[in-house]
Structure 1
Amino acid sequence: MKFRNLLLILLLALTFQVKAQQPTLLPQFTFYRLDGKAFSNTDIKQGKKNLFILFDCTCEHCQRESKILNTNYAKFKDVNIYMITMDEGYIIPQFFDSYAKGLNAKPNVLVLQDKKRMFIPTFLPKQYPSMYLYSPAGKLLMYQSGDGGINKLMKVVNK
């Protein structure tokens, strides 16, 4: 009986440890454009690297990282950028006007809402902002979170 309990505890520990790692392949997802239309894996523009950024409009780290991304946009112009938030639609334009003016209007940037709160259990971020750079084939190239993520991503985005 004790052996079986120990085995169960070890199995649970391994399961939780595996779940704590970021997905190495782009997971299936459905988020929503600001006009309410669904956006999923099948809608990704093919042939480019894909950068997924989970942000919160009130997060100071997210505000700084978005400003750095906007300032260094030229280094990311050949990457599909998907900025995902759980915030309500009314605050999102204010965020971009205040911290990354015009970034949300760039041709390769799409702002999405996570209305069903699926990003966190699917991508397993550690903190805001969380940034996932995937290859065109959907393989995770780099994961970053918190301050300094955009600067680190700039070093690998064009490799």
Structure 2
Amino acid sequence: MKFRNIVLILLLAVTFEVNAQQPTLLPQFTFYKLDGKPFSNTDIKQGKKNLFMFFDCTCEHCQRESKSLNANYARFKDVNIYMITMDEAYIIPQFFNSYAKGLNAKPNVLVLQDKKRIFIPTFLPVKYPAMYLYSPAGKLLMYQSGDGGIKKMMTLVSK
């Protein structure tokens, strides 16, 4: 009987996914610009909302959300947009040319590399793409992941 209870508990533990809670305040971080220079919290442009989008160049959901962000860029032009990836620098321009042409060249968009693999343990994303919208004061306004996140965030960025 004890063995059956242990098996049941283990089965339940494996079956139920534990959702980690996203940070409600912007965490400390250091990512890297494509030229290799570090970029951290202290480098964020002040006075605007901040959108952090964690993406993978080969992720179809990321490709669709980046395309959506590019198509709706006018709604996000007053938001600092930080697009973070763990991908190698050589593939990133190809991603933007294929799925969000010109987005990476917008004045409020900065593409960053997560060379030290800190985004996942720091921001606790559930799946790609993970999108975090923070207030100018660094408070989490909205977290979205997967498809449809950009459309959901459009209501908050215009407020």
Same structural fold, with TM-score higher than 0.5 when normalized by the shorter chain: yes
Partner of 2:54: 54
Residue deviations 1:100-153 (CA, integer Å, cap 9, x gap): 000000000000000000000000000000000000000000000000000000
Looking at structure 2, the residues matched to 152 and 19 of structure 1 have their Cα atoms a distance apart, in angstroms, of 20
Which consecutive aligned stretches of 4+ in structure 1 deviate over 3 angstroms post-superposition? Answer: none
1:106 aligns with 2:113: no
AA aligned opposite 1:43:
D
Q: Shift of the alpha carbon at 1:20? A: 1.4
Q: Identical aligned pairs, as a percentage?
A: 87
Alignment correspondent of 1:80: 80
Letter aligned with residue 158 of structure 1: S
- Using the alignment, how far apart are the partners of 1:147 and 1:20 within structure 2? 19
Normalising by structure 1, we get a TM-score of: 0.88
Shift of 1:19: 8.6
Q: Does 1:71 align with 2:68?
A: no
Give the partner amino acid of 1:50. Answer: N
Counterpart residue identity of residue 147, structure 1: D
Q: Which residue is 1:14 aligned to?
A: none
Q: Distance in 1 between matches of 2:31 and 2:72?
A: 26
Q: Flag structure 1 segments of 5+ consecutive residues without an equivalent.
A: 1-17
Alignment length (residue pairs): 143
Deviation at 1:47, TM superposition (A): 0.2
After superposition, residues 147-158 of structure 1 pair within 5 angstroms as 147-158=147-158
